Amino acid sequence: MDFNTILRGALPNFTANGTGAAAPNATGNTFSSGIMESLVPLLGSQFSPLLKAYMLFHNMAGSHLGLDPALIVTLFGIIWAANKLWKQLFMSVYTFVHTHFMSSITITNNDEMYIHMMRWLASQPRMVNSRSLTAESTSKSAWEEEDDSGIISAPISADGDGIYLNFSNQEAKSPPRFVPALGTHGFWHNGRYFRLHRKQESIFEEGGGSMSAFKDKEYLMLSCFGRSPEPIKHLLQHAKEQYYTDHHAHTIVKRPAPQNMRRYGGRHNWLQVSNRPVRPMKTVVLDGKQKIQVLVDMNEYLHPATPRWYANRGIPLRRGYLFYGPPGTGKTSLSFALAGVFGLDIYVISLQEPTLTEEDLSALFNSLPRRCVVLLEDIDSAGLARAPDNSTDEDKMEETNAKDDKKRKKAETKEDWKVSDLARELKKQGGENEKKGISLSGLLNAIDGVASHEGRVLIMTTNKPESLDEALIRPGRVDLQVGFSNATQEQAKELFVRMYEADSSPVIRNPLRGNVQHSGKTITNGPAQPQGSNHTKIKDTSSDGFTSDGSTEVDDRSSAFTSPVKVNFGPGLDDDAGDMTPEQLDEVADSFAQKIPPGQLVSPAEIQGFLLKRKKQPIQALAEVEVWVEALVKQKASKTKVLKVQ
């Protein structure tokens, strides 16, 4: 039975009209055009284009080519049905195999593991050469090396007198990063086949006011054959290790995330803002004994055996430091150097953040990792102090009477008011209801409350330690205070030598392997002894000029250097330091230090700023330092902020 017979049985009248009009030589054509013409008014106008197209195909295939259109339609129907059946069968088999013979792990884009995995996938040649990719714009940080060939070969002169570098085309040389697109991908790793399924969903996130919005949430599902997910776990661990390959040579700085992200808690509370190279401890201008004291104390606290030692004695596992001194003396620099020595991340909190509440502060502290450095800069500027309430009843009565007299006088001179008085009064009333920020009690509860975080290192810096409340710096909250002062002549010499010594490239080594020998200091990269033990010692015979004993050995990871590397700062800067021997540089540094007043009127930051303007001319710096110091002393005596000599 063919298609024409079915239609004749269903529509006898139409088929009769069609067959009567058919030519005798069209008997081989089993599906006449008369049927189609009869179906057009029956099915409606919306089917007319489709039926007319079929009629055209019918006439061409049946009349001119001698083919049976019904056979072609039947063939396409069989192919379509087979395709549907194959898809259903394949999905059933795939679901059965994936459920019973495969393991999978899902990662969301809210977790740091998502970043680790995407970074690793972007570095795999097979994934980058896939046919389905997503391109992402990338840019290098300030500390990453870049190709300077295009900059040097195409300099631009602004005024015709000198040659200046132009970076307008530098961003164009930054290649994009390619990652797997949404969908399913396959790749091999260590002889095992993995499947990656990347999908995206739009989720409506409710929030207060205008914070409600649709946001895209991505998932990465890794799967492999086998009932054990161990291969996937090893792959994720490998991706994480690759991500942190150079982490021991960098310090990650994080700050509180925006308010709309902090409400999700956990890792969403913090946002990475910087990833900078480790700062060597020798670049911090501070007394050598104070350096060793802080290093030994922090190393003992961070030792893996310390938590049990604290728990056995019922002591909270917290450590706090207070760095105080004039501005520009190296308080923040020491914090970064300590984080680099011990390989810790820095979490910076500003107590003057207007959106930061006491609940947010507690949540930020509770979401800190096990070991990290929490930095509270300029703690004195936050205004954390107890409100004095020492007034007696007589004082209150006198104050009340004074207010009544003031109101009476205002009523008598009501017609003499001014617009400024009204604005002042409105400002005063509005200030009573505005946000007060973090209170002293809220900060104390976050630092060492009952539910406060343990294991972190807290560093507070201040320029005015006398203005701090006693409860904030009592033992248990601040365990060690380190004082900073303006530069001495010895420190001025140290700054001068460091500025003009030969540039060197650091040796990046695994901090868990072996020892490093540098400048007479033996540095062992191994576990230190817990508190109460004195089996290992620090032996320092370097140029710092001191020898100290402690309970551990210090790993100054950026202190090991190879041969000097010549750095070209461009035309227009004569390199006087490159022609000086170490002995000559030391002699010039002694002469420079003698011209720094011993009364400690100049901060290390001011000396460094002076030398940076002459970073390749040590002889010129020596010749101009006396005039600079004299102008600086006069400026500070007159309390002006304008520099006459720079």
pLDDT tens readout for residues 203-244: 776 655 555 666 778 899 999 998 899 999 999 999 999 888
d(CA 553, CA 280): 16
> What's the pLDDT score for residue 75?
85
310 token code pair: 């604290």
What is the model's pLDDT at position 253? Answer: 93
pLDDT (0 to 100) of residue 522: 38
> The whole model's pTM is what?
0.68
The residue assigned the tokens 């011990």 is 342
Please check whether residue 289 is in contact with residue 480, taking contact to mean a CB–CB distance below 8 angstroms: no
Q: What is the pLDDT of residues 450-472, one digit of tens each?
A: 778 888 999 999 998 988 888 89
C-alpha 233/C-alpha 239 separation (Å) is: 10
Which comes out higher in pLDDT, residue 370 or 159? 370
Q: 533 near 548, Cβ under 8 Å?
A: no
- Dist. CA 540–CA 528, nearest whole Å: 17
pLDDT greater than 60 at residue 40 = no
- Which residues, including other chains, have CB under 8 Å from residue 239's CB and lie 6 or more apart? 113, 116, 117, 119, 120
Q: What is the pLDDT of residues 99-132, one digit of tens each?
A: 889 999 999 888 889 989 998 998 888 887 888 8
Cβ–Cβ under 8 Å, residues 580 and 305: no
Question: Given a cut of 50, is residue 524 above it in pLDDT?
Answer: no
pLDDT attached to residue 566? 42
- What is the predicted pLDDT for the residue at 356? 87
The angle, 0 to 180 degrees and rounded to 10, between the axes of the packed helices 12-20 and 33-43 is 140
Candidate ranges 155-159, 203-207, 428-432, 619-623; pick with highest mean pLDDT = 619-623
Q: Give the model confidence (pLDDT) of 161-198 as tens digits.
A: 667 777 777 777 778 888 899 999 999 998 899 999 99
The Cα–Cα gap between 42 and 45 comes to 9
Helical (H) or strand (E) element with 322 = strand 319-324
Q: What is the pLDDT of residue 299?
A: 94
pLDDT at 559: 39
The pLDDT tens digits for 597-635 are 876 788 899 999 999 998 888 999 999 999 999 888 888
What's the rounded Cα separation, in Å, for the pair 430 and 434? 7
- Among 382-396, 405-419, 530-544, the range scoring the smallest mean pLDDT is 530-544
Mean pLDDT of the chain: 75
CA distance 205 to 215: 7
DSSP code for 171: G
